[in-house]
Structure 1
Amino acid sequence: MAGSELLSDKAIRAAIKDAETSGKARKVSDGAGLVLDVRPTGVGWWRLRYWLAGKERMLSLGTYPDTSLSQARARRDEARRQVAAGTDPSELRKADKAAQAQVAKVEALEEAGLPPEGSFEAVARDWLSTVHAGKVSEGHHTRTRLRLEQDVFPWIGRRPLAEVDAPELLAVLRRVEARGAIETAHRVKDACGQVFRYGIATGACARDPAADLRDALRPVQARHHAALTEPAEVAKLMRAAADYAGQAVTRAALLLSPLLLLRPGELRHLEWAWIDLEAGMLTVPGALMKRTKADKVDGPPHLVPLARQAVALLAELQAITGEGRFVFPALTSRLRCMSENTVRSALRRLGYGNDEMTAHGFRAMARTMLAERLDVAPEVVEAQLAHAVPDALGRAYNRTQYVEQRKAMMQTWADYLDRLRLGADVVPINGRAA
């Protein structure tokens, strides 16, 4: 370019002085498209005029004197080589700036301990707070978050969501399987699938690789809560519970478990304000029940008709704990409900291991025996157990239907347990001996 170079530092200083004196900007050319736009402020702007695809374009190359004449010429020559190769130097500069900004952003996030944008962890945390937290209970949300934090983020958290494929995700899940947590591995896969589907909706990825792993994990072995369902064994249990020699509150919880048919967590959180002994009805707020978050907030309460035996036990217990909030307070403080292991420990004390009978097993016991021994309609039993039914309309009906049928069922069930405890030869409606 030497032959076309017209400027010198002396000429540039003269042009700047002239602009300062006249108060008017002026342009001086160095040839090959390089121009210095001199301002009255004493600063000049280096600009390169070039043509690409038949269109005139302009590129800034810096300011004088910060960018010297020789530097401006070097930048001009590089830009002209890019143009000759069919590359637009303006677009290339924009891309470089964007890349630098992205690197700076990633470094800032890393310094703050945050995942890069578009990474598995970033999208997963967005899904957790935006979608998951609004759909499930706080406990469920916490468990999902901890599973992702412990079993997924350390391995693929920083990876771009769109780049994670099925084999890579499977390797993550295999680590969970390797420690024997088969059910957890399936739950982690399900959570990852929801993250990918959220990523598809938000444009962070194009597909869900978790869907390709449907048959890749070891199957979960179905586990049921241990429960007694043979009349002779249930009779022995009822007699043992009646003779329980431990704390009075624990004995009451043990005896009421088969009469109320609540889940252990629901039973131990019971409050006296929910019980109407005169009406023979326990009204459990929807927020305490095992439901979706929306149903916990908006769903109706769960009604538990109280058999005469349940009313009698509660009346006795009211004399002991009735001045407090909880029906079954903790032994150490009436400000808290009893421990989740209280009924289980009482069963252990009576000689029943986890493989024989559990606190949750009272519900399975009732579900089986009410249907098989007392011929109670399954939908009535399911309504009392507060089991969800497939469709939303059915759920709405089942929580308010069958109240009268359930009243009769709960009394029949309590009477049946009494007769078993007393050793009677119970003959159900269908005529089969118990």
Structure 2
Amino acid sequence: MARTVVSLNDSKIKSAIAKHKKSPETAVRLSDGGGLFLLLDKKGGTYWRFDYFKPITKKRTTIGLGVYPELSLAEARRLRDEYRELLVQGIDPATHKNHLEEQARFALKNTFEAVAKEFMQTEVVAESTRHRNEFIYQYLFDAIGKKPIHEITARQLLDVCQIYEKQGKSETARRMRSKAGQVFKYGLVLGLCDRNVALDIKGLLKPHKKSHHAAVTNPKLLGELLAAIDNYTKRGSVVMCYALRILPHVFVRPGELRHAKWSDVNLENRTWAYTPSKTENALGTELIVPLSTQVVELFKELRVITGHNDYCFANYWGKTKLLSDSSINKALKNLGWENGETTGHGFRATARTLLDEVLKFPIERIEQQLGHQVRDMHGRAYNRTKYLEERMVMMQAWSDYLDSLKEKALNS
């Protein structure tokens, strides 16, 4: 006849624990039936255990469920019943438990943020692009960074992106979807997720309306802007003043000017040679910027201030010790040129327009100096070092023209 087991309750358990503490020489088993029992060990521990026979080998096995009272009697019974159901299906509870624990460890290790940071180490991008991407990644980390990557749904990613879209930041939302897609693709390759959910929301965000960088192409207004830049010395940092005064003459991308190195500037030969970050990976060709007499003098003055640094436009505060991405545009705004009137990048369009329409230089030389690919009659791309003498003449003429516009503005 099978032994009848009287079910436990909290009063019986607490009474048994109090009694055991007085004489803990031997371990005590408090059975609740169905294989569940509470073990009171010699050191005062109270552990829930489950006894069962393995489905195939029929070997008697015991697994731990948790500690009383952190794991309550009711919860221990729920686990017992769950495990007994697994046994009916021929599943070993110990194997099932290990699988769940492995899944939890996997999820904890492979969060979206963890996978993204690993992917970021594989990206080969310019430093300025990497810095911009970090902001996009942080927006994603704040919302879904702690979630296991395989549990993130397309709906969750869409909700995050649409928050920024509703704030008028459609480009940010688009970039968030794009960067998330790269991370999910990386996770797919590593077997960390089953699908790239960023592809599921493609087309659901508003398309980005591309706008050109604002530029001043009116000679009179350009002269006024150059005169205002010269007066900026009264209110701005010295390094920023030199950046503002040099940029219109060389019309490179602001980020490329900010990262100019003294080792790349040859004041004797009047050239600055570097590889543009925007085309570094695709072309890897140096761009030579001829320096006019005016620009050479400005660099000589700047070298007295920052010549002991690697970078020409070294700053003395901030994480990067360089002028920030937005600093030039902010400086122009401080001069009274509101957003939409001009930008640092806009000097490129200014030079392209006026060198062509006013100074009548060949558009091929202008495009070449802008760092764009220009092809000859045979379809071959010009090397950026070609036609250097012609471009030296053009750059000197451009600086002289800018000085004449500034002089008119000052005398008007």
Calculate the TM-score normalised by the size of structure 1.
Answer: 0.61
Distance in structure 2 (CA, Å) of the matches to 1:64 and 1:218:
59
**CA offset at residue 281 of structure 1?**
0.7
1:378/1:62 Cα in 2 relative to 1: closer, same or farther (>3 Å)?
farther
1:250/1:214 Cα in 2 relative to 1: closer, same or farther (>3 Å)?
closer
Alignment of 1:122-133 (within 5 A): 124-129=116-121, 131=122, 133=123
Tell me whether 1:143 sits opposite 2:135 in the alignment.
Answer: yes
1:62/1:350 Cα in 2 relative to 1: closer, same or farther (>3 Å)?
closer
Aligned length: 330
Alignment of 1:67-78 (within 5 A): none
1:102 aligns with: 99
Q: Per the alignment, in what secondary structure is the counterpart of residue 220 of structure 2?
A: helix
1:290 aligns with: 277
Alpha carbons 2:261, 2:312 under 8 Å: kept = yes
Tell me whether 1:234 sits opposite 2:222 in the alignment.
Answer: yes
Alpha carbons 1:388, 1:395 under 8 Å: kept = no
Distance in structure 1 (CA, Å) of the matches to 2:62 and 2:311:
81
Structure label with greater radius of gyration: 1
Alignment of 1:221-300 (within 5 A): 221-246=209-234, 249-284=239-274, 286=275, 289-291=276-278, 294=281, 299-300=284-285
1:310/1:159 Cα in 2 relative to 1: closer, same or farther (>3 Å)?
closer
Distance in structure 2 (CA, Å) of the matches to 1:399 and 1:255:
24
- Percent identity between matched residues is 34
> RMSD value over aligned CA atoms?
4.4
Q: Deviations over 1:3-48 (max 9, x none)?
A: xxxxxxxxxxxxxxxxxxxxxxxxxxxxxxxxxxxxxxxxxxx999
Alpha carbons 2:150, 2:194 under 8 Å: kept = no
Q: Per the alignment, in what secondary structure is the counterpart of residue 304 of structure 1?
A: strand
Q: Per the alignment, in what secondary structure is the counterpart of residue 374 of structure 1?
A: coil
Distance in structure 2 (CA, Å) of the matches to 1:234 and 1:122:
49
Distance in structure 2 (CA, Å) of the matches to 1:171 and 1:256:
44
Alpha carbons 1:363, 1:385 under 8 Å: kept = yes
**CA offset at residue 209 of structure 1?**
4.1
Q: Deviations over 1:371-419 (max 9, x none)?
A: 33334444533432335799xxx99855444434432331232232233
Question: Any unmatched runs of 5+ in structure 1?
Answer: 3-45, 49-57, 67-77, 425-434
In the alignment, which of 104, 109, 112 is matched to residue 114 of structure 1? 109
1:386/1:345 Cα in 2 relative to 1: closer, same or farther (>3 Å)?
same
Q: Per the alignment, in what secondary structure is the counterpart of residue 56 of structure 2?
A: strand
Distance in structure 2 (CA, Å) of the matches to 1:207 and 1:339:
37
1:98/1:228 Cα in 2 relative to 1: closer, same or farther (>3 Å)?
farther
Distance in structure 2 (CA, Å) of the matches to 1:404 and 1:216:
51
In the alignment, which of 185, 201, 219 is matched to residue 173 of structure 2? 185
Alpha carbons 2:215, 2:349 under 8 Å: kept = yes
Distance in structure 2 (CA, Å) of the matches to 1:279 and 1:232:
33
In the alignment, which of 57, 60, 63 is matched to residue 57 of structure 2? 60
One-letter amino acid matched to 1:307: S
Q: Per the alignment, in what secondary structure is the counterpart of residue 283 of structure 1?
A: strand
Distance in structure 1 (CA, Å) of the matches to 2:241 and 2:113:
48
1:151/1:177 Cα in 2 relative to 1: closer, same or farther (>3 Å)?
farther
Q: Per the alignment, in what secondary structure is the counterpart of residue 60 of structure 1?
A: coil
2:206 aligns with: 218
2:153 aligns with: 164
Q: Per the alignment, in what secondary structure is the counterpart of residue 303 of structure 1?
A: strand
Q: Deviations over 1:292-346 (max 9, x none)?
A: 7756xx934432111122223333444555566554444789x955566664455
One-letter amino acid matched to 2:137: R
Alpha carbons 1:371, 1:378 under 8 Å: kept = yes
Distance in structure 1 (CA, Å) of the matches to 2:96 and 2:53:
23
Tell me whether 1:310 sits opposite 2:295 in the alignment.
Answer: yes
Distance in structure 2 (CA, Å) of the matches to 1:65 and 1:413:
86
Answer 1 or 2: higher relative contact order, Cα 8 Å, separation at least 6.
Answer: 2
Q: Deviations over 1:139-158 (max 9, x none)?
A: 2553343232123336xx33
Q: Report the more deviating stretch, 203-212 or 214-223.
A: 203-212
Tell me whether 1:197 sits opposite 2:185 in the alignment.
Answer: yes
One-letter amino acid matched to 1:104: E
Alpha carbons 2:364, 2:374 under 8 Å: kept = no
One-letter amino acid matched to 2:277: K
2:344 aligns with: 359
**CA offset at residue 192 of structure 1?**
2.5
Distance in structure 2 (CA, Å) of the matches to 1:200 and 1:242:
54
**CA offset at residue 190 of structure 1?**
1.0
Alpha carbons 1:272, 1:325 under 8 Å: kept = yes
In the alignment, which of 336, 357, 363 is matched to residue 372 of structure 1? 357
Distance in structure 2 (CA, Å) of the matches to 1:171 and 1:364:
37
**CA offset at residue 291 of structure 1?**
3.5
Distance in structure 1 (CA, Å) of the matches to 2:189 and 2:61:
50
